[in-house]
Amino acid sequence: MIDRRVGSGGSNRIVCSATPLNHKPKPFEPTPTGAQKVVRYSRQAALGMELPFTMVGTVVFGGFIGYLLDKWLHTGPWLMAVFGAMGFVGGVREVIRRLSIEENGNGAKSD
């Protein structure tokens, strides 16, 4: 935005302000305190360490149950593959559920 102002002694000078004409001020957002940052980062770190184990654990558990059923029923690797796939689906659902709870920020279940 260019503004023409009269300086001392009657001289005209051009002043350029940094605020554009279509500038809209942002709503006030309080900055988090140090303790809030620590809590937020520790929750993110805990979630990042937990989710890979959740995914791997569900697949291994499902595959192990299928393996035991295969040995008992003499069905070959079919039940291990089926239960491993069910474990994978269950792991993906659990990861999505935990991420949606984390996005809410309050720990409440979102419907």
Distance (Å, whole) CA 82 – CA 76: 11
State the pLDDT at residue 87: 96
Residue pLDDT tens, the chain, 111 long: 455 555 555 555 555 556 566 667 667 666 778 888 888 888 889 888 999 999 999 999 999 999 999 999 998 899 999 999 999 999 999 999 998 887 776 555 554
State the pLDDT at residue 39: 87
Domain boundaries, the chain: 31-111
User: Whole-model pTM?
Assistant: 0.60
Tokens of 99: 């991420």
State the pLDDT at residue 109: 53
Residues contacting 80, CB < 8 A, separation 6+: 63, 66, 67, 69, 70
Distance (Å, whole) CA 14 – CA 3: 6
